[in-house]
Amino acid sequence: MTNLTPSPLPLWKHRPRRKRAPPLLFGTRGPGSLYRRLKSLGLLATRDRAAALAFLFADYPDPFPLAERIELIARFVAATNAIRCYHTQAELFVVADALLRMGRRPGLTVVEAGVAKAASSAKLSLVVSRLGGTLHLFDSFRGIPHNGEKLTRLDGSPVEFFKGAFTGRVPTVTQNLQRFGCPRCCVLHKGLFEETLPAFEPGAGRFIDLALLDVDLLSSTRTCLTHLFPKLRLGGAIFTQDGHIREVVELLGSARFWIDEVGVVSPPRIEGLGKRKLLKIVRES
């Protein structure tokens, strides 16, 4: 049977890196440049428009006036303009939307694994603070760890993530959270996931409500899911932005992984598997 409901998960298309000449009119393309500010407005009006509109007009359990939604979008754009980021605005709108649909709840606990320079963390922190929750941020804060992984994207192109890539040191992350997010609701967990996640407890009698993973490596995805999924509450969700990596798709599609390594009775429902970059893993039982 074909599902006719369009997926809210954004589409993804790999674009090979080209050597780009600096723009003639605007100086540089980097964070803070005029080029980047115009580009992010352009993307908001085109690639990310559907997700932005869905967020603007969604029904949430807690009051969220239109003017405040527009302000939140403006703050997302401000973070994108100033910080090097590794996600699209649409991806963060989808995650924000899922969180806002959960609404305020005592001890709301959100986890992000893979922080880089805190562009996504700053945006997420604005939503988490609005709901009165806590955002736990996990990263080495030294970039991608040493690894020997040779991975493949869904379109067949090879990809490797080298040691030190995406480095965001604690002072930079803290400063970006202060300028563009809400540092009060954030807790930083510094170190390799292998070291920090096993010891993580959401709090007495608490569970994780939502987690966002953007960790690039197969081994890191495995570690995150093994330690986070058992702590996810029923009805909670884990999003991963690594659904464009074939080896990650194979891992998530493996019943053995879920049953033997994660320790669940049956594999969870995964939206977008093998089709989208941003995947949603839902805990239903």
**Interaction site with ligand SAM (CB under 6 A):** 85-87, 114-116, 119-120, 139-140, 143-145, 166, 168, 192-193, 214-217, 220
Query: Cα(270)–Cα(88) distance, rounded to whole angstroms?
Result: 20
* Closer of 125 and 220 to ligand SAM (Cβ): 220
Show the tokens assigned to 45. Answer: 């009006």
Nearest approach, Cβ of residue 119 and ligand SAM (Å): 4
Nearest approach, Cβ of residue 72 and ligand SAM (Å): 17
* Closer of 134 and 140 to ligand SAM (Cβ): 140
DSSP 21: P
Among 229, 236, 110, 129, smallest CA distance to 178 is for 129
Q: What stretches of the chain adopt beta strand conformation (E)?
A: 109-113, 134-139, 151-152, 158-159, 186-190, 208-213, 232-240, 269-271, 279-282
Nearest approach, Cβ of residue 245 and ligand SAM (Å): 12
Nearest approach, Cβ of residue 216 and ligand SAM (Å): 5
Torsions phi, psi for 183 (to 5 deg): -65, -25
Nearest approach, Cβ of residue 133 and ligand SAM (Å): 18
* Closer of 100 and 116 to ligand SAM (Cβ): 116
Alpha-carbon distance values, 102 to 36, 110, 201 (Å) = 33, 11, 21
For residue 102, give every residue at least 6 positions away whose Cβ sits within 8 Å of its Cβ, in sequence order, or none: 108, 131, 209, 210, 235
* Closer of 139 and 209 to ligand SAM (Cβ): 139
Burial bucket for residue 162 (CB in 10 Å: 0-12, 13-18, 19+) = exposed
Nearest approach, Cβ of residue 163 and ligand SAM (Å): 10
